Amino acid sequence: MPSQVCIDAQQLIHPKPDIIAALMRAIQQGAALQISYVSTSSGENVREIVPHSLINNGQRWHVRAYDRTHGLFTDFVVTRIKQVRKEQLVVAAYEQPAADKAWLTPVTLILIPHPSLSHPEAIALDYGMSDGQLSLQSNAALAAYLLRSWSVDCSKEHKISSGVCQLALKNTEVLDVLEHLSIVPGGNS
């Protein structure tokens, strides 16, 4: 029963249990799956994936997998998987987690209070910053999710000043190795 005095405003949409179960089995067995997937760019189609990790980005669940259709590692939104069609146990070495370079590439994100703020100390206190900055460890595959969910201004000159971003990325050069830059505030500028 939810508390009336301690409330979590976030409402994560949960995937279907049978889809999660199939993904977890494939991850545990190192197997490939054939799935019916609905993409925002191409609609519904059949994809073959080799999943290796489940990720909760704070808004929805993703599965990190090798996409045999496009020949690369990427993330799939789990709620867009309509059906798991069949499982295949034959997986090539280049489809396994040890070959996922972005997943294995560690990155450090250095966050600072947004330069447009009149009282940056308030944000430094919110995030437990030391010397006006916070260093976070992630990997190149997941860092964009963090930057988006925290509304971090990643533009080179921290030019997002509408009040949406209370944080800014100090080491913007890290963007060169991240995946999913299109979801990052100011990541393409």
pTM of the model: 0.83
- Residue 156 scores a pLDDT above 70: yes
3: left (phi over 0), alpha (psi -120 to 50) or beta: beta
**Tell me: the pLDDT tens digits for 92-136?**
999 999 999 999 999 999 999 999 998 999 999 999 999 999 999
d(CA 109, CA 97): 23
Q: How confident is the model at residue 11 (pLDDT cuts 50, 70, 90)?
A: low
- Residue 1 scores a pLDDT above 60: no
Task: Tell me the CA distances in angstroms from 92 to 3, 24, 27, 120, one per residue in order.
Answer: 49, 19, 14, 50
Strands 167-169 and 134-139, how do they pair?
unpaired
The pLDDT, as a whole number, for residue 97 is 95
Lookup result for tokens 């201004």 = 153
Please report, rounded to a whole number, the percentage of residues in the chain having pLDDT higher than 90: 70
Query: Does residue 61 contact residue 15 with C-beta atoms inside 8 Å?
Result: yes
Q: How many residues does the chain have?
A: 189
State the amino acid at position 18 in one-letter form: D
